[in-house]
Structure 1
Amino acid sequence: MRVMMLVKANEDSEAGALPGKEEFAEMGRFNDELAKAGVLLAADGLRPSSDGARVVFAGGRPSVIAGPFPETEELVAGYWVIEVASMDEAKDWATRIPFREGVVELRPIMEAAELG
């Protein structure tokens, strides 16, 4: 199963603050571990919402709203997509992420076969 591990944004990520050298190195080692285990499909950090936009559909019409967006707790700062045997395995990988603070949400990706 494929699982997306979503890194929730915070004030620092929304300010565009980058991790220090040590944190980057720790994350690099974690990403290498995922890759060596053969579970890593994708991983990226996202720029702050001030560089983004939303397209909102209402009444059959789209409207574009430029960032930044105030509700930081609803924003995503980065992600991994991993392929694992179970949600338990995904949870195990997520507990190894070298974060000092933060929230990571795990969401199974709906496969085409599930759509009927």
Structure 2
Amino acid sequence: MRVMVLVKATEDSEQGFVTTPESMEAMQAMGRFNDELAKAGILIAADGLTPSSRGKRVAFDGPGRTVIDGPFAQTRELVAGFWLWEVKDMEEAVVWVKRCPNPMPGPSEIEIRPLYDLADLT
């Protein structure tokens, strides 16, 4: 089962990465966690995203397209980073997420979403 593991944005992540001893320690902890995922054969891809102020959205309405510049409202609804994992089932994904270092300096959330399989679409 493939899952997308989404690190939700916070006010801190929307400020952009600031190099401090604490942020470097957090990055090293996350690097060690990513190494564990890779050694376990779970990690397919992972990366962090820049703040939404550097992003754009394209809104679709029939044939029309509207480009919307960031930053975007509702920070807690934004994504700050992601992993793509191959796991046995959702329970295994939850176990791994619980092992993850807190991705933010304060309270944060990680969302796990299964990807569609070809069998789901036929």
In 1, the alpha carbon distance for the partners of 2:23 and 2:10 equals 16
Map of 1:1-116 to 2, 5 A cutoff? 1-18=1-18, 20-99=23-102, 101-116=107-122
Q: TM-score under structure 1 normalisation?
A: 0.94
Secondary structure of 2:84's counterpart equals: strand
- Please identify, of 22-31 and 58-67, the stretch whose mean Cα deviation from structure 2 is larger: 58-67
Aligned residues: 116
Q: How far did 1:59 drift?
A: 3.8
Q: Which structure 1 residue ranges, 4+ long, deviate > 2 Å from structure 2?
A: none
Cα root mean square deviation, aligned: 1.2
Q: How far did 1:115 drift?
A: 1.1
Q: How far did 1:113 drift?
A: 2.6
Identity of aligned residues (%): 56
Q: TM-score under structure 2 normalisation?
A: 0.90
In 2, the alpha carbon distance for the partners of 1:29 and 1:57 equals 40
Q: How far did 1:54 drift?
A: 0.3
Q: How far did 1:62 drift?
A: 1.2
Structure 1: state its 5+ residue gaps: none
Secondary structure of 1:20's counterpart equals: helix
In 1, the alpha carbon distance for the partners of 2:57 and 2:7 equals 19
